[in-house]
Amino acid sequence: MQTIQYLTVTIDHVGRRLDNYLFSQLKGLPKSFLYRIIRSGAVRINKKRAKPDYRLRADDVIRVPPLRSTETVVPKSPNKKLTTLFQNAVIFEDKHLLVIDKPAGIAVHGGSGITLGVIEILRALHPYQKHLELVHRLDRDTSGCLLIAKKSSILRELHELLRQGAMQKTYLALVAGHWPKSLTTIDAPLYKNQLRSGERIVQVDACGKACITQFRPIQYFYNTTLVEIIPITGRTHQIRVHALYVKHPIIGDEKYGNTIVNQNMRNLGCKRLFLHASQLAFQLPSTKQSYTLQAKLSADLQRFLDELTRLSRTPPSAQEGAAHLPI
């Protein structure tokens, strides 16, 4: 695109975030470049600067600056392994939405050195679905239920449910130490900070945004606890930072976890972040249909729990090489 382009927002896209809308309209544009032109002010809405999370309104006019061909990339197609993986990952599908059990280790979006994310893979596998869009996000290393809308109108409805807190997300996590049964709610504001290295980190800070997470211990093991988690708000890294805040970091968390604990857990078989989006529950307003969608723990995480169960039942003197975790 060698000239300035003006995009007028139709009713189908009202309520969408600016960044998500432009991702869908400017196919093949690197994510990092798109955010750069938005934040620099080169992208304008009604002649004014706008942030990536700006919610579109009917008849908004979006100015997109000239883009050189070198600023676009040709989307790659998923290889056979990824194709099979994602075909087997489908939990539920109807004419409105698609739900997959997102594999750990795959980002939801391409960009920043990642050629193919979940949404790019799904679009390649479903070329006849022209409006596939992520409803929400999961961290790259988190597995489990991920919701994708097939229509712009459905995307708006689901985003509104998220804003109203009318969609319940449930997670399972293994945390270090024995989680107190009395600790059911963590209410601590979170603040995003950027380090000199460019890495973004989230921490509890009075200047941050309100953040509430509910926790319920399900099963105790030797120096670890399997907990069920319901985030009431939807902040970046909310579960991981709140767990760290009360000194029970999630096992396998390379960013917010305990290095020594993580190494001991790797020795026992946990090779990744033990955080899994186990359930989504909501009612779609337009159809009044209720959905309860579940994703079982992946085989590797279940095997690790089985190993912890075995160790928990074994007398300490008989635990050859069992890890003793510093908490």
Residue labelled with tokens 């002649």: 47
pLDDT at residue 223 tops 80: yes
Pick the residue with more confidence: 249 or 13? 249
Neighbours of 210 (CB within 10 A): 11
Its sign, for the CA torsion 247, 304, 89, 200, is positive
Encode pLDDT of 151-196 as tens digits: 888 988 998 999 899 999 999 999 999 999 999 999 999 998 866 5
Q: How many CA atoms lie within 13 A of 234 on its CB side?
A: 16
pLDDT of residue 258: 93
Q: Which of 139, 205, 300, 306 is catalytic?
A: 139
Which phi and psi (to 5°) does residue 96 adopt? -100, -40
Its sign, for the CA torsion 5, 35, 115, 139, is negative
Q: How far apart are CA 218 and CA 309, in angstroms?
A: 13
Q: What is the mean pLDDT of residues 270-294?
A: 95
Encode pLDDT of 98-115 as tens digits: 999 999 999 887 655 556
Q: How far apart are CA 250 and CA 19, in angstroms?
A: 30
Q: Do the Cβ atoms of 143 and 200 come closer than 8 Å? A: no
* Domains parsed from the chain with CATH numbers: 5-68 (3.10.290.10), 77-165 (3.30.2350.10), 167-327 (3.30.2350.10)
Share of the chain above pLDDT 70, in %: 89
Share of the chain above pLDDT 90, in %: 59
Q: Do the Cβ atoms of 118 and 107 come closer than 8 Å? A: yes
- In sequence order, the β-bridge partners of residue 194 are 200
pLDDT at residue 72 tops 60: no
Burial state string for 30-60 with b = 16 or more CB within 10 A and e = fewer than 16: bbeebbebbeeeebbbeeeebeeebebeeeb
Range with the poorest average pLDDT among 4-18, 119-133, 188-202: 188-202
Range with the poorest average pLDDT among 9-23, 232-246, 283-297: 9-23
Active site residue 306: no
Pick the residue with more confidence: 249 or 123? 249
Q: How far apart are CA 114 and CA 108, in angstroms?
A: 10
pLDDT of residue 324: 45
**Cα distances (angstroms) measured from residue 186 to each of 177, 205, 274, 299, 304:** 17, 13, 20, 30, 27
DSSP string, 164-217: HT-SEEEEEEEEES---TT--EEE--EEEEE-TTS-EEEEE-TTSB--EEEEEE
pLDDT of residue 138: 94
Pick the residue with more confidence: 278 or 68? 278
Q: What is the mean pLDDT of residues 209-222?
A: 95
Residue labelled with tokens 């908490």: 327
How many angstroms from the chain centroid is the CA of residue 106?
Answer: 10
Tokens of 14: 């009202």
The pLDDT mean for the chain works out to: 87
pLDDT confidence band for 32 (50 / 70 / 90): confident
- In sequence order, the β-bridge partners of residue 293 are 280
Q: How far apart are CA 245 and CA 187, in angstroms?
A: 11
Q: How far apart are CA 138 and CA 295, in angstroms?
A: 14
pLDDT at residue 69 tops 70: no
